[in-house]
Chains A and B, each alone.
Chain A
Amino acid sequence: MSTPTHDPHSGDRPDRGPGTSNPGTDPTNPSPASARGSAATADADPANPANPATADMDEPPAGGSFTRYFLRKLGGAATSMVLVIVLGFFAFRMLPGDPVLKIAKERPMSPAQIAELRSQYGLDKPVIVQFWDYLVGIVTGDLGESYVYRKSVSALIGEYLGPTLLLTATAAVIAIVLGLWLGQISAWRRNSLFDKLASSTSLIFWSVPTFWLGLILLMIFGGTLQWLPTGGMITPGLDPWSPAGIIDVIKHLILPVISLVAVVYAQFLMIMRASLLEEMNEDYLTTARAKGLTEDEVRRRHAVPNALLPTVTVVFLHIGGLIAGAVTVEAVFSWPGLGKLTFEAIRGPDLPLLQGTFVVFSAIIIVMNLAADIVYRFLDPRVRRA
């Protein structure tokens, strides 16, 4: 399972290249490839546009058609998916502990009861048969039945996907807007007080463990000041579609969204900042200034659109990671989403559910990587023309 925590020190630091005007001001650039950490992203590096070396390697050969490029990417994604499916089965079987014995622990259960549970869970069959059932299930869209919820895993994931999307999409939009906006100003005014403050604050938040930040926010705004609810998505009994219900959901959203945004927006800030710095010394900006445009207009109309190209693809990569990152935040704020479902499944251990959420999380990341590759191809005219 890709863990939701991020490690600022993992991942390569992309070589800024000759275009970087002042590499000294950019000591801790988070790598856009830091979303790795799941097998799925192994294929993601090519989409790292900040690095000309890898980008070259992955650019389609001259004259290559889009179809070939697309098929190649699709093949890569499919391979990753197959690996994830196989890993999803065996990785969790290798975990220590017997789910049935864990349930039976400290309970007055007779041997007959334990045997009955084993057969209900299908754990009495040989592993190879279980694996076959699992493969057949995945192909037919049946991810098995959860031990704990006694419900089909696909239905459970469908049910819990909504709250997770609400949480992560809100957080993603805020983090991206905030990060990109602060990033371009930081680059434009590099070395200014604003740059130093914005960059260092974002990096501090990025280094903070999500779990800890969440608990601190919970203690200050939930327990002590009592401004915001301490957990859940909606006060039980309220209709989520009524006006009061919507306001209630928004109140419940604030703290988890702040936690998620605080720890990820640095990535967007740093990427935007680095991309824009690369554009800073370009001749076309001098031309623009010569035309009499104000600094503001030069930045907004000329520099930023160009710097956005590499940034957008990287953003796609991170959206996939953000959904996986919800596991911790959902656990702290009792948010009834996929992350919490995964957390509970690990406690179980609820093997079918764990496999299901693992496959789904990985699939989301793989799809996002594929999307990044394709979007990159469309956005960057240099790649498109090649």
Chain B
Amino acid sequence: MNHRTRRKTKMFTSHSLRRGWQRCLAGVAALALAGSMAASPAQAATSEAPASENVLRIATDGFIDSFNPFTSFYLVPTNTFRYMYENLVANDAKDGSVTEGLATEWNTDSEGKVWTYTIRPDMKWSDGEPLTSKDVAWTYNQMMEKEEMAVANGSLVENFDKVETPDDDTVRITLKKPQANNPGQEIPVVPEHVWSKIDKPGEFKNDEKSVGSGPFQLESYQANKSITLKANPNFWRGKPKLDEIQYRYYTNSDAQVQAIRSGEVDFITGLSPDQFTALENADNVELNDGNGRRFNGISINPGVADAEGKEFGTGNEALKDKKVRQAIRAGIDTETLRKQVMQDYAQPATSFIPAVYPDWALKSDNSVISGFDVAKAKKLLDGAGWKEGSGGIREKDGEKLQLRFLTDADAPIEQSTAKFIKPWMKDIGIDLKNESSDVDTVSERTTKGDYDMYFSGWSINPDPDYQLSINTCGQRPDADGNGGTSQDGWCNKEFDKLYQAQHVELDQAKRQDLVQKAQAIHYEEAPSVTLWYPNQLEAYRSDRFDNFTKQPSDGGAIANQVGYWGYSSVEPVSEEEATGGGMGAGGWIGIAAAVIVVLGGGGWLLSRRKKSDDRE
């Protein structure tokens, strides 16, 4: 920079060089701009007011309709409720198992029909009012009695017959039918003294100064700008060390990556493998490759039908034969896919309960599990009557074995998967056609059963009951999507019996065994092939915060937990280490001047030069 400045000064003083400097100044200005860019110190830091030490800033782009726990079902509000409202029982950070929440202990009668909870004494809401069993009962009863209060979580109280409070420390839930899954999970409990005074609680937005029992309370919300949560001093586990959590809106995930590089946000999640790798060398950014509670798989149309067994859709007849479905599984090298497509940012999978729930996931040593085996796949197809025909494609009764694979054109992972699978299917004699489309078309076609195979995925909660239930015959929707939800549109009486048995089995060990058996049937029948359990890729500013809690605590994820563990334990890093500050006014004037000089000055000088030429 220095010698360049000197040169410029010299030019100004030399008359003989006047024409020269006119011609050159535009170029010099451009160089100066480039030079000032290069000279900018790496620690120039953010262009904003120094962030308060103790505010964890998180990038988000999720939908928000309101912060009403009775009606909102979008991901961001749902995750926020977990921090705002304690449930009757919580799910542990360690492995998601049921642990104490508002209740310190609970028990059930011999068949699992009457559940009795003991509430922790002397708890307070964030506004200082006492929290008792009456609040719990009031919340549950609202959902059971009023349709508009059951919009978000109605299914969780569907089996509730009545909820009573013999005293301030006891809640008794009587169920319609017995169930083994603790009914006190995942229902945010709200304060009666606040909500009972609201005229139409179903339309209440609850978007400022919330009153709750969880570690953080909603302070303010500005749509598409920010959500601010404040620590709750009355939280029964103790006030969190953070003062505030502030969600900031970033529509674009690449912009989120830039925001964490520049230190404008402290935490981001949901990164793609490419974005994650790109952040590996970023200063002060710590990465978390967290095992997730999701699975990805390929759903194979087993001949979808509604709950009454009436078939619909365009699924290939060949897929009704489970040998063909099994052959497809044997023909897919899931380990290569996991390593190549997911770049190892995923766990090996067995069935639809992910490995982060070791109590429930199908054990990898189960005898039913078979790996990638081309010879076996060919044998299975031979056995099903599909004989090798011309061009290596199998035929039966003059018909070629041609299948369609439906994928989302905007999802790179689905597109790469399709590219890998096509030649593998060719190897075993199946002609697989990748039909990629936009996500709405994919969802419409899968609803109508208009597919042979499609790329699917689900997030799984700690208790397996729900995911098992949507694999039962009675849950299958009709062609308009009405009536229920089904994972693969599949139906099996044996599986249904096992589902019912585990649904009421109170002995945890026996229930685990039943869940294993149910998943083994699903695996053997192969209405879907689970490919992997994708990791949740996250990053945080290690120069500002540490001590995030993962779920599961060994190698899990920080965001999207079932619970409030992730941010509650976060501590700010000591003040001296934290960076902050903004670029001085001088820097700003410099940029503005450089831009003006380059854009305007260059042109002006050139035009001047021409003008004087004209005059001469």
- Which chain B positions have C-beta within 8 A of A111? 482-484
A97 to B606, CA, bound (A): 57
Tell me whether A150 is interfacial, beta carbon within 8 Å.
yes
Q: Are A96 and B441 in contact (CB under 8 A)?
A: yes
Q: Are A116 and B147 in contact (CB under 8 A)?
A: yes
Tell me whether B368 is interfacial, beta carbon within 8 Å.
no
**Using an 8 Å CB-CB cutoff, how does the interface string of B462-493 with A read, 1 for contact, 0 for none?**
00001000000000000001111100000000
Complex interface residues of chain B between 62 and 119 (CB less than 8 A to chain A): 63-66, 73-74
Q: Are A107 and B73 in contact (CB under 8 A)?
A: yes
Tell me whether A13 is interfacial, beta carbon within 8 Å.
no
Give the one of A102, A225, A344, A348 with max B CB within 10 A. A225
A112 to B155, CA, bound (A): 9
Tell me whether A296 is interfacial, beta carbon within 8 Å.
yes
A23 to B266, CA, bound (A): 56
Q: Are A226 and B441 in contact (CB under 8 A)?
A: no
Complex interface residues of chain A between 317 and 334 (CB less than 8 A to chain B): 330-334
Complex interface residues of chain A between 199 and 231 (CB less than 8 A to chain B): 215, 218-219, 222-231
Q: If the complex has contacts A194-B610, A334-B255, are A113 and B151 also in contact, measured as CB distance less than 8 A?
A: yes
Contact of B65 among A97, A149, A237 (CB under 8 A): A149
Using CB atoms, name the residue of chain A closest to B71: A150
- Which chain A positions have C-beta within 8 A of B44? 225-227
Nearest chain B CB to A375's CB is how many angstroms away? 28
A103 to B440, CA, bound (A): 12
**Using an 8 Å CB-CB cutoff, how does the interface string of A231-256 with B read, 1 for contact, 0 for none?**
11111111000001000100100000
Contact of B443 among A105, A235, A238 (CB under 8 A): A105
- Which chain A positions have C-beta within 8 A of B37? 225
Q: Are B49 and A231 in contact (CB under 8 A)?
A: no
Q: Are A109 and B222 in contact (CB under 8 A)?
A: no
Binds A, one of B8-16, B242-250, B392-400, B507-515: B242-250
Q: Are B258 and A230 in contact (CB under 8 A)?
A: yes
**Using an 8 Å CB-CB cutoff, how does the interface string of B146-175 with A read, 1 for contact, 0 for none?**
011011101110100000000000000000
Q: Are B155 and A232 in contact (CB under 8 A)?
A: no
Contact of A223 among B147, B251, B261, B610 (CB under 8 A): B261
Complex interface residues of chain B between 562 and 616 (CB less than 8 A to chain A): 583, 587, 591, 599, 603, 606-607, 610-611, 614-615
Tell me whether A98 is interfacial, beta carbon within 8 Å.
yes
Using CB atoms, name the residue of chain B closest to A112: B154
A238 to B248, CA, bound (A): 13
Q: If the complex has contacts A111-B484, A218-B255, are A148 and B65 also in contact, measured as CB distance less than 8 A?
A: yes
Tell me whether B129 is interfacial, beta carbon within 8 Å.
no
A332 to B225, CA, bound (A): 14
Contact of B440 among A96, A104, A182, A185 (CB under 8 A): A96
Nearest chain A CB to B416's CB is how many angstroms away? 22
A225 to B45, CA, bound (A): 8
- Which chain B positions have C-beta within 8 A of A364? none
Contact of B603 among A106, A194, A238 (CB under 8 A): A194
Tell me whether A282 is interfacial, beta carbon within 8 Å.
no
Tell me whether B529 is interfacial, beta carbon within 8 Å.
no
Tell me whether B22 is interfacial, beta carbon within 8 Å.
no
Q: If the complex has contacts A107-B73, A108-B466, A110-B158, are A116 and B248 also in contact, measured as CB distance less than 8 A?
A: no
Q: Are B261 and A231 in contact (CB under 8 A)?
A: no
- Which chain B positions have C-beta within 8 A of A101? 443, 447, 481
A347 to B224, CA, bound (A): 14
Give the one of A108, A150, A193 with max B CB within 10 A. A108
Q: Are B48 and A235 in contact (CB under 8 A)?
A: yes
Q: Are B222 and A189 in contact (CB under 8 A)?
A: no
Q: Are B485 and A116 in contact (CB under 8 A)?
A: no
- Which chain B positions have C-beta within 8 A of A294? 615
**Using an 8 Å CB-CB cutoff, how does the interface string of A328-345 with B read, 1 for contact, 0 for none?**
001111101000110110
Contact of B258 among A110, A218, A248 (CB under 8 A): A218
Q: Are B603 and A97 in contact (CB under 8 A)?
A: no
Nearest chain A CB to B284's CB is how many angstroms away? 12
**Using an 8 Å CB-CB cutoff, how does the interface string of B520-536 with A read, 1 for contact, 0 for none?**
00000000000000000
Interface of B is mostly: mixed
Q: Are B251 and A332 in contact (CB under 8 A)?
A: yes
A117 to B71, CA, bound (A): 10
Using CB atoms, name the residue of chain A closest to B52: A237
Tell me whether A7 is interfacial, beta carbon within 8 Å.
no
Tell me whether B47 is interfacial, beta carbon within 8 Å.
yes
Q: Are A232 and B261 in contact (CB under 8 A)?
A: no
Tell me whether B438 is interfacial, beta carbon within 8 Å.
yes
Tell me whether B458 is interfacial, beta carbon within 8 Å.
yes
Q: Are B610 and A109 in contact (CB under 8 A)?
A: no
Using CB atoms, name the residue of chain A closest to B66: A150
- Which chain B positions have C-beta within 8 A of A55? none
Tell me whether A95 is interfacial, beta carbon within 8 Å.
yes
A47 to B301, CA, bound (A): 56
- Which chain A positions have C-beta within 8 A of B415? none
- Which chain B positions have C-beta within 8 A of A343? 251
Q: If the complex has contacts A103-B73, A150-B65, are A226 and B45 also in contact, measured as CB distance less than 8 A?
A: yes
Using CB atoms, name the residue of chain B closest to A194: B606
Tell me whether B226 is interfacial, beta carbon within 8 Å.
yes
Q: Are B251 and A331 in contact (CB under 8 A)?
A: yes
Q: Are A231 and B246 in contact (CB under 8 A)?
A: no
Using CB atoms, name the residue of chain B closest to A332: B252
Contact of B251 among A113, A231, A296 (CB under 8 A): A231
- Which chain B positions have C-beta within 8 A of A103? 73-74
A323 to B599, CA, bound (A): 24
Tell me whether A81 is interfacial, beta carbon within 8 Å.
no
Q: If the complex has contacts A230-B264, A235-B48, are A98 and B40 also in contact, measured as CB distance less than 8 A?
A: no
Nearest chain B CB to A129's CB is how many angstroms away? 18
Contact of B249 among A114, A147, A229, A231 (CB under 8 A): A231
Q: Are B611 and A98 in contact (CB under 8 A)?
A: no
Q: Are B610 and A189 in contact (CB under 8 A)?
A: yes
Q: Are A98 and B249 in contact (CB under 8 A)?
A: no
- Which chain B positions have C-beta within 8 A of A148? 63-65, 74
**Using an 8 Å CB-CB cutoff, how does the interface string of B35-59 with A read, 1 for contact, 0 for none?**
0010010001111110000000000
**Using an 8 Å CB-CB cutoff, how does the interface string of A288-325 with B read, 1 for contact, 0 for none?**
00000011100000000000000000000000000000
A330 to B457, CA, bound (A): 30
- Which chain B positions have C-beta within 8 A of A149? 64-65, 223
Tell me whether A157 is interfacial, beta carbon within 8 Å.
no
Give the one of A148, A178, A194 with max B CB within 10 A. A194
A119 to B477, CA, bound (A): 18
A235 to B57, CA, bound (A): 11
Q: Are A230 and B49 in contact (CB under 8 A)?
A: no
Tell me whether B459 is interfacial, beta carbon within 8 Å.
yes
Q: Are B603 and A198 in contact (CB under 8 A)?
A: yes
Using CB atoms, name the residue of chain B closest to A349: B440
Tell me whether B228 is interfacial, beta carbon within 8 Å.
yes
Tell me whether A65 is interfacial, beta carbon within 8 Å.
no
Tell me whether A130 is interfacial, beta carbon within 8 Å.
no
Q: If the complex has contacts A232-B225, A244-B49, A332-B251, are A226 and B263 also in contact, measured as CB distance less than 8 A?
A: yes
Q: Are A236 and B259 in contact (CB under 8 A)?
A: no
A255 to B465, CA, bound (A): 50
Give the one of A95, A101, A192, A344 with max B CB within 10 A. A101
Could you show 28 A-B contacts with beta carbons less than 8 Å apart? A96-B441, A96-B444, A97-B441, A97-B444, A102-B443, A106-B458, A107-B73, A160-B224, A185-B607, A194-B607, A215-B252, A222-B258, A222-B261, A223-B257, A223-B261, A227-B47, A229-B48, A230-B264, A231-B252, A232-B249, A234-B225, A237-B226, A238-B49, A248-B49, A295-B614, A296-B611, A340-B224, A343-B251
> Interface on B for A, CB 8 Å cutoff?
37, 40, 44-49, 61, 63-66, 73-74, 147-148, 150-152, 154-156, 158, 203, 205, 222-226, 228, 246, 248-252, 254-255, 257-259, 261-264, 438-441, 443-444, 447, 457-459, 461, 466, 481-485, 583, 587, 591, 599, 603, 606-607, 610-611, 614-615
A97-B443, A113-B151, A223-B259 are known contacts; what are 4 more A-B pairs with Cβ within 8 Å?
Answer: A109-B155, A229-B264, A232-B249, A334-B249
A-B pairs, 7 with minimum CB distance? A97-B440, A223-B258, A236-B226, A223-B261, A336-B224, A110-B155, A230-B259
